[in-house]
Structure 1
């Protein structure tokens, strides 16, 4: 989920914790748990600072080790170790318990996004992405904001957020059912589909659709369970040519390939260089595919410049590559 949603979830979890007698019966425990659930709801996303290095490092590592099984265990211990000396009268066990719940909930809800997490590390480096909740879901965010306002106006926080989370469980089930129904509709029009990747949008009835068969990629959108296919591409395996082999050694392209499950590629020979471009097919927007990796090589196959990330126009991409070259 996005940072804002994790913030309101941390606050809501602090309110829910007041149902715990050990929390409600101790001022020190109440305050420390409120701080800890907010910190725990943010801690796994500390790897966002990797953006300051470059997109390749960020793409490879975001929602990786910081969302892993060891991290879910270690984050609460670290937060409690820092916080407890300031609240020595707090109930240590219940402070740790609610901090653990906050960290676990952060990682758990991220699994439902299309981006996913490597939540099974160190047992598996596979990305777990169930893909039926958008990274920012306005319904989830709005319900939390409403709950916080109700709390601010005097409603009991524990029962307020207990009701809210029961509603959210129902909402998640409805989103899962909607995803299953869209996949069924896709298979009706593309019966030989091997892989169907649905990316939820901020609108309940809209989904981005990317489909793989043995021979083709299909890209489209679902609206109210009606499937519209916009693009069809011949599926061509990456050949072991000198240009592509050289390009694959680039860190930006390598990060792209580690993250993207469905893409097409193209090589363009220019006057004094080669351009290798890989295009993720999951995020088509207004006729454009914004998530790309591009590598420029000279005629001797030395890498001149490269980029991976989100670019929403060809002009901006070329400017970015020119900056990197210079």
Structure 2
């Protein structure tokens, strides 16, 4: 989920914690639990700082080890080590329990996005991405904000957010049912599909669709369970040519290939260089595919420049390739 939603979820966990008698009877415990819940709801995304290094490192590692099983167990201990000395009279066990719940909930809700997490590490490096909830979901964020206002006007925060979370559980089930309906519709249109990726948008009834068959890629949109195919590409295996093999050694393209399950490729030859481009087919926007990896190589297959990330115009891509060293 996005940062704002994780923040309001941390506040909600702190509100629900007031139902815990140990928390309710101690101001020190209540205050430390609120701090622990807010920090715990954010700390798995500390790897966002990797963006300051470069996109390749960020793409390869974001929601990786920081969202893993060991991290979920260690983050609460790290938070306690910082918070508890300021509240030595707080109940340590209950502070840990509510902080752990906040960390766990962060990682748990992230697996329902299309981006997903490596939540099963170290047992599996597979990305778990159920694609049911958009990274920013207006309903989930909005109902949390409404709960905070209800709390501010005097309602009991614990019962308020228990009701809200009951509604959210129903919402998740409805989203799951809607996605399954789209999946069935896609199978009718493309019965020989070998892989189907259905990703949510911010609108409840609209979905992005990317499909692979043995011979083709299909890209489309779905409104409710009505699927419309917008683009269709022949599925051409990536050749083992010298230029492709050299490009694969680039850190940006390597990061892209570790993350993207559905893509097509292009190789363009110019007077003094080659350009290799891989294009993720999951994120079509206004007829454009903005998530790419591009590598430029000289005639001897030496990497001259490269980039991976979100690009919405060819002009901006050219600027990125000019300033990023190979």
TM-score range, shorter chain: over 0.9
Q: What does residue range 93-108 of structure 1 map to in structure 2 within 5 Å?
A: 93-108=93-108
Instruction: Write the distance in 1 (CA, Å) between the matches of 2:189 and 2:267.
Output: 31
Instruction: Write the distance in 1 (CA, Å) between the matches of 2:151 and 2:324.
Output: 50
**Matched residue, 1:85:** 85
Q: What does residue range 127-142 of structure 1 map to in structure 2 within 5 Å?
A: 127-142=127-142
**Matched residue, 1:46:** 46
Instruction: Write the distance in 2 (CA, Å) between the matches of 1:50 and 1:63.
Output: 11
Q: How much does 1:323 deviate?
A: 2.2
Name the SS of the counterpart of 1:211 in structure 2: strand
Q: What does residue range 1-326 of structure 1 map to in structure 2 within 5 Å?
A: 1-324=1-324
Instruction: Write the distance in 1 (CA, Å) between the matches of 2:120 and 2:231.
Output: 34
Q: How much does 1:224 deviate?
A: 2.3
Name the SS of the counterpart of 2:324 in structure 1: helix
Q: How much does 1:277 deviate?
A: 0.1
Q: How much does 1:25 deviate?
A: 1.0
CA displacement 1:260-310 (0-9 Å, x = unmatched): 000000100011100000000000000000000000000000000000000
Instruction: Write the distance in 2 (CA, Å) between the matches of 1:140 and 1:324.
Output: 38
Name the SS of the counterpart of 2:131 in structure 1: coil
Unaligned runs of 5+ in 1: none
Q: How much does 1:325 deviate?
A: 5.4
Name the SS of the counterpart of 1:218 in structure 2: strand
CA displacement 1:93-140 (0-9 Å, x = unmatched): 000000000000000000000000000000000000000100000000
Name the SS of the counterpart of 1:104 in structure 2: helix
Question: Structure 1 stretches (4+) deviating beyond 3 angstroms?
Answer: none
What is the root-mean-square deviation in Å for CA atoms of aligned residues?
0.8
Instruction: Write the distance in 1 (CA, Å) between the matches of 2:76 and 2:24.
Output: 20
CA displacement 1:141-178 (0-9 Å, x = unmatched): 00000000000110000000000000000000000000
Q: How much does 1:324 deviate?
A: 2.3
Instruction: Write the distance in 1 (CA, Å) between the matches of 2:184 and 2:312.
Output: 31
TM-score after normalising by structure 2: 0.99
Instruction: Write the distance in 1 (CA, Å) between the matches of 2:66 and 2:43.
Output: 8
Alignment size in residue pairs: 326
Instruction: Write the distance in 1 (CA, Å) between the matches of 2:188 and 2:114.
Output: 23
Instruction: Write the distance in 2 (CA, Å) between the matches of 1:41 and 1:21.
Output: 22
Q: How much does 1:239 deviate?
A: 1.0
2:178 and 2:224 in contact (8 A); partners too: no
TM-score after normalising by structure 1: 0.99
